[in-house]
Chains A and B, each alone.
Chain A
């Protein structure tokens, strides 16, 4: 089945530790996105990538890093510099930039700092 997969579903991190969230898609999509969701805040864009080996900062990139070494993978690292990392993280992908189309979302990763 084609789709976008995030793992793990739940993640616990100690303060001061980096943690990496996985996002994989087999839809052959060029564009991939990471969003953070907090109650009452909607979906805020962290980073996005329009093509392999290229990515741009979104609205809340501080304390996060990404890589796009393969078309199907767009991992997000939450670093110790992120002041308030506890949130629900969503990864999405879409066909590309030529003609905007539907973005498909993963099921999300809930990160909790303990």
Chain B
């Protein structure tokens, strides 16, 4: 089955700096890669996603890149702000068959003012 590895587990940056979180996946059939942000005591919320037919996607300060050959994808947050502080999860899922959304273990991002 699918296995998703996420690094780093914690990340601390200064306000205004960029943050990068990386994930690798094992199942070459995976074709959908969402990123979720979880604030304390709440459920995760989707912040951006990418499909396997696209190499990069941007949404304001957030971007995701996908390298299918290497089976890894990354989240990039530019001009970080204190409100970006949260736990971020990557995930992967393959189309068809059993649709299991498999998550990485999460990255706790702290943005220091």
Which A residues have a C-beta under 8 Å from some C-beta of B? 6, 31, 33, 35, 40-45, 48, 50, 56, 58, 90, 92, 94, 96-108
Contact = CB atoms under 8 A, between A and B. Distances in A.
A101 B91 CA distance: 12
Contacts of B66: none
Interface residues of B, number: 27
Interface in B58-113: 89, 93-96, 98-106
A50 B100 CA distance: 10
Given A40-B105, A42-B89, A100-B94, 11 more contacts: A42-B6, A42-B103, A42-B106, A45-B101, A48-B99, A92-B101, A94-B99, A100-B99, A102-B34, A102-B49, A105-B43
Contacts of A44: 103
Interface of B: 6, 9, 31-32, 34, 36, 41-46, 49, 89, 93-96, 98-106
A105 B98 CA distance: 19
Q: Which 6 residue pairs are nearest across A and B when measured between Cβ atoms?
A: A105-B43, A42-B105, A100-B32, A43-B103, A97-B99, A100-B93
Q: Which of A33, A43, A101, A106 has the most CB of B within 10 A?
A: A43
5 contacts: A35-B103, A40-B9, A42-B89, A42-B106, A43-B103
A21 to B, nearest CB: 13
A105 B45 contact: yes
Contacts of B41: 108
A104 to B, nearest CB: 8
B34 A103 contact: yes
Nearest to A102: B46
A44 B43 CA distance: 14
Contacts of A48: 99-100
